[in-house]
Chains A and B, each alone.
Chain A
Amino acid sequence: MPSQLFVSIVEIGCFFALIALGYLIVLYGAGFFHFALGPYAMFSALGAAYWVTASEWPLWVAVVAGVAAAVALSVVTELLVVRPIEKRVRGEELPSLIAVVATLFAVSQLAGTVFGRKPFPGQPWMDFEDPIEWGEAVIGGQTVIIVGVTLAIFILLAAWLRWSRYGQWLRAVGENQEAARTLGFPVARIRLAAFAVGGLIAGIAGPLFSPKAGVNFESGLSYSLFGFIALVMGGTGSIWAPLAGGLILAALQIAASYLFGSPSLNYATLIAAALFFAFRPEGLFARRVRH
């Protein structure tokens, strides 16, 4: 396989890994699969691109605004949608699932209404005059940024989970909200932190990756879906598991496209997901202790 494809695998893998990481954080802190993370990433990316091209903001301002928007959307979702519904239907999972799916759709439509329905190219954060050459492959500036930022986020988050107060609480709460509450944990604040951090990661991931593939208001659905698959493949046992899952999914998709043509990307993802769900739903890095 041409070495340029390996570069693509790393780029796409990092993107999926970040979305999956967002899922993992919200899963740890609120016991919830945040299906709406994809649209938050899209909103941030589309917003940044729109503000740079149509409003002529400097790139950094636009990206920060996009990230802030993603965090705001995630927090609002928790406060106005997920929390009231979970409070009303203790234990039943379906209403929250429906609500987050509706949120996914609503945020996509909001982006379409505010930023328009045309696709936008992303805005590179940095470009090399002379791209790095690696064998036959060419590594541009944005690629280096993607890898660098991804690793930085993972490392920072691992440290946050290990050493900060909220981080440690997050790990402790996990899926057992009730037990945590009776033990005196400030569950509401932990949840809020989890949703905010999840939104933050998604908000950074969007504009980070959009220079590579462009973005439109409907992109959020596949971001959410592929991020979820990456999470399932990697497992929930380690903070680094999403990285493994993201790279594996990206490798699968690119290999399938290369070998069988681009439609097979979706077929391959479907088959791999179905197999993982059926035979290894806990992923590669499963949690060691029963939860």
Chain B
Amino acid sequence: MAEPSNMAEPSNMAEPSNMAEPSNMADVILECRGVNKAYGAVRAVNDVSLELRAGEVLGLVGPNGAGKTTLVDLIGGEQRPDSGAITALGRPLAGAPSRRARVNGLARTFQHPQVALDLTARENMLVGLAGPSLATLSGQLRELAAGIVGAGSRIERDAARGEVERVAAALGLKDIERECRELTLGELRLVEVGRALLTRPALMLLDEPFAGSDAHGVAGIRSAIAEILRNGCGVILVDHNVDIVASLAHRIALLNLGAKVFDGDPKACLASPEMQAVYFGEREAA
């Protein structure tokens, strides 16, 4: 696992490094078809269709209120769509988020880091490692007994191999025995990414991982993405910062007011009239 290099400006990266181009014949691992979600009169997600292939980074960009996080919630299971279909590897993506993680290999980070501040970084990341073992009732009971007795825990066995430390090092996260109360926002985001990585996902949703991160944090996430792709997985990368996303993604989908207005090559997207219209307004600012 390569050490994250001390990268300066992300926009120096023209091509995403360490990332192989996905072949055109790669499996479609996630597909959204005609997904809708409305809150009263507001259409948060308006007839959105997109697909993600294995080994690909799909960037999802758009201004505030474009529906990016709602779409991520719909894929992740935190919210249900009004209509439309979401499938992963041909199977419908349904049920609670825990079911999607277990059955479809989904993992995600959150716009506001969902981290237990009174636990250490290591303990928070351990929850990711613990995911598969605690996914069923019998698994939980087994771990409960193992926890009291002090032996027989599958999670402890995995942890003893240094999985958590390895992932933390790969992300550039130092001193994981600190309580999360003491971590910066950027470090909290890395904890979230590390936790998600430890669940060994097939598909990662990264929701605004760069907001509040410094160059070091950005580099860590960049390595995380490389690591995920190495395992043949896919990444949906949501962020405000279009430049970073363009430097990391193989494709970009641009959302505005809930609808997808562009889907294609990142450089083409940056130069497109749709981008102009969405971010700078055709005539007047909204």
Contact = CB atoms under 8 A, between A and B. Distances in A.
Contacts of A290: 39-40
A286 to B, nearest CB: 13
B203 to A, nearest CB: 27
Contacts, number: 5
Interface string A1-20: 00000000000000000000
Contacts of A289: 39-40
A241 B170 CA distance: 56
Contacts of B39: 289-290
Contacts of A288: 40
Contacts of B40: 288-290
Interface residues of A, number: 3
Interface string A276-289: 00000000000011
Interface in A254-283: none
Nearest to A89: B117
A259 B85 CA distance: 51
Interface string B2-45: 00000000000000000000000000000000000001100000
B75 to A, nearest CB: 19
A288 B40 CA distance: 8
B175 to A, nearest CB: 25
A161 to B, nearest CB: 20
B178 to A, nearest CB: 20
A279 B244 CA distance: 46
B277 to A, nearest CB: 28
Nearest to B41: A289
Nearest to A92: B117
A290 B40 CA distance: 7
B124 to A, nearest CB: 16
Interface in A119-163: none
A288 B41 CA distance: 11
Nearest to B39: A290
A290 B44 CA distance: 12
A139 B236 CA distance: 69
Nearest to B40: A289
B73 to A, nearest CB: 13
Interface string B36-79: 00011000000000000000000000000000000000000000
A112 B40 CA distance: 49
A289 B39 CA distance: 7
B28 to A, nearest CB: 32
A176 to B, nearest CB: 13
A7 B40 CA distance: 41
A183 B275 CA distance: 29
A120 to B, nearest CB: 46
A87 to B, nearest CB: 15
A288 to B, nearest CB: 7
A288 B39 CA distance: 10
A217 B3 CA distance: 67
Interface in A169-208: none
Interface in A198-238: none
B41 to A, nearest CB: 9
A35 B39 CA distance: 30
A70 B113 CA distance: 41
A290 B39 CA distance: 6
B253 to A, nearest CB: 25
A132 to B, nearest CB: 47
A91 to B, nearest CB: 9
A130 to B, nearest CB: 54
A183 to B, nearest CB: 15
A93 to B, nearest CB: 15
Nearest to A291: B39
A255 to B, nearest CB: 37
B170 to A, nearest CB: 30
Nearest to B112: A91
A127 B14 CA distance: 87
Interface string A75-102: 0000000000000000000000000000
B23 to A, nearest CB: 42
Considering the complex of A and B, which 5 residue pairs feature the smallest CB-CB distances, nearest first?
A290-B39, A289-B40, A290-B40, A289-B39, A288-B40
5 contacts: A288-B40, A289-B39, A289-B40, A290-B39, A290-B40
